[in-house]
Amino acid sequence: MKRSEQFTRRRFIGGVILTTVTGVLTASCASSAPATPSGAAAGNQATSVTSPSPTSVPQAAANPPTTGMVELVESSWATDTYGMSREQERLDLFHKTYPNSKITVKLRNVASSGYRQQVLTQLAGGVGPDVFRLGWADVFPFKEQGQIPALDDKFKSLGKDDWLSNPDTKTDIFDGARYAGKLYGLPMGGDMSNVEVNLTLFKEAGVKMPPTTYDESNWSFDDMLELAKSLTKRNPDGTPIQMGIGVDAGMNGSGNPVSLVETWGGQTLSEDWSKFLWAQDPGPEAWQWNADLVWKWKVAASQAEAQGGAFSYNNGKLAIFPHYVSQLSYHTQDVKDKFDWDQAPWPKQGNNPVKVMFWYSAWVMNAKSKHPDEAFQLLQFLAGPIGTIPGVELGWELPLFKSLDSRYNSRIAALNKNIKPAIDGFNHRITRHYYHQPRWQEASTKYIGPALDDIFARKKTAAEALREITPKVNALLEEGAKLMGTI
């Protein structure tokens, strides 16, 4: 997906954000889908749920309910039919799990373009949602402003039902989400870098099929380049017909820029989170390779050639696309049977270990909820081993509980798609979540994104662009590291 197309949810979870934002609380939430699909995935019945107008702001009730029932409001930015059906299924499971509960839940989902500001407006007016989703880059600022509470003591109150302490939980993931030892948000919608492949184009070209997982057969970046050359088609005048690989200035967003640099053997931030290290070798080499796909090798479309999504993966004219594993879920809706879509593992580079970014957004609760106990009951359910089942089975989110590994993508298992890069990729994941740095997103928006734009547009070499921005990025990161208490 090129930058001119609709942003997906993953681009706003903490990757290199390339849109203009202002202030410390920068916009970080996006749509949960790359397109607006027409129905639910195989095996999942779509549920009709009416979403309010993005411009409407709910008002506080004049009188509290007298029926004994407690109504909670849940918000996220899943407003397409497929996303809404998934969220409704979570709520159906909640009511099935707690059949005697007096809790009712109202979905108040808002499209990504207005979501974050509307949540802020509602919180300021005392009518904020009880449980809501955030891009993780917003967790720290919301926590600093007292809008969301720490959750550890609330989990302890669950006693034997505290799944956070259960051996089934992939505890290192939740521990990695803490600030100063405390958990303010629960990871949700986990995702990971991958490479999407159009197997139809591979077969038509008669080239070697891509690998399936992270073993000795895994391809390298050089292998991927050679295949891209074989899979690119241009007219005699040079105008493109079919592109071998899809790239943009942000390597298609989210964690992929980090996966690129660190698989090449580089590092993103210093150990104390205060220094930006992409200007050090081999960071410039990795980003120059990315730009050369367009300008030197001409196997990727330039921004001009890619206008209007002319060579997007979904239209069948792109053979190789560095992207993320969640999109297998949505291709049951947007690509369907247009071509043979699948995924391959992230490539290797030389003798360096493959490193893939693993990222997520957050479920949080309103610190001023009128029903805090009930709100936490809903929150822990949505992020827990039962509430995550719909997303896991649809392949939209990676399993954070060991018992769900075998159920990952099970609803489209009959399509015989390759899920190994998602499950096996856990062994190669980068455990430092750079978007947790309180100033990472601001640095990305102001400096890193524009520098990558310059590299991609051939205005500057990668070495020049990254070297120029490093002092400015470091000034912001030092502020963030002080807030984190690491310096």
DSSP per position, 86-114: HHHHHHHHHHHHSTT--EEEEE----HHH
Predicted confidence at residue 89, as pLDDT, reads 97
Would you say 312 and 240 are in contact if contact means Cβ atoms under 8 Å apart? no
Does residue 394 surpass a pLDDT of 50?
A: yes
How many Å is the Cα radius of gyration of the chain?
A: 22
Return the structure tokens found at 173.
């993931």
Can 9-191+361-429 and 193-357+434-484 be said to share one CATH topology? yes
At residue 202 the predicted structure's pLDDT band, cuts being 50, 70 and 90, is: very high
For residue 129, give the 3-state DSSP assignment.
Answer: coil
Does residue 180 surpass a pLDDT of 70?
A: yes
Please, what's the b/e burial string for 276-288 (b: 16 or more CB within 10 A of its CB; e: otherwise)? bbbbeebbbbbbb
Environment class of 414 (CB within 10 Å of its CB; exposed 0-12, middle 13-18, buried 19+): exposed
pLDDT 10s digits, 55-67: 333 333 333 444 5
Return the structure tokens found at 256.
């992929």
Kindly report the average pLDDT of the chain as a whole number.
86
pLDDT 10s digits, 120-137: 999 999 999 999 999 999
CA-CA-CA-CA dihedral for 467, 18, 231, 425, to nearest 10: 90
Which CATH number applies to 193-357+434-484: 3.40.190.10, 3.30.9.10, 3.40.640.10, 3.40.50.10420? 3.40.190.10
Which CATH number applies to 9-191+361-429: 3.30.1510.10, 3.40.980.10, 3.40.190.10, 3.20.10.10? 3.40.190.10
What is the rounded average pLDDT of the residues 90-99? 96
| Bridging pattern class, strands 186-198 and 341-344 | antiparallel
Predicted confidence at residue 234, as pLDDT, reads 97
Would you say 344 and 211 are in contact if contact means Cβ atoms under 8 Å apart? yes
pLDDT 10s digits, 240-275: 999 999 987 665 566 799 999 999 999 999 999 999
DSSP per position, 280-346: STTHHHHHHHHHHHHHTS--S--TTTTGGGTT-GGGT-EEEEEEETTHHHHHHHHTTTSS-EEEEPP
Instruction: Answer left, alpha or beta for residue 308, where phi above 0 means left and psi between -120 and 50 means alpha.
Output: left
Predicted confidence at residue 176, as pLDDT, reads 92
At residue 30 the predicted structure's pLDDT band, cuts being 50, 70 and 90, is: very low
| For the chain, domain boundaries | 9-191+361-429, 193-357+434-484
Predicted confidence at residue 68, as pLDDT, reads 81
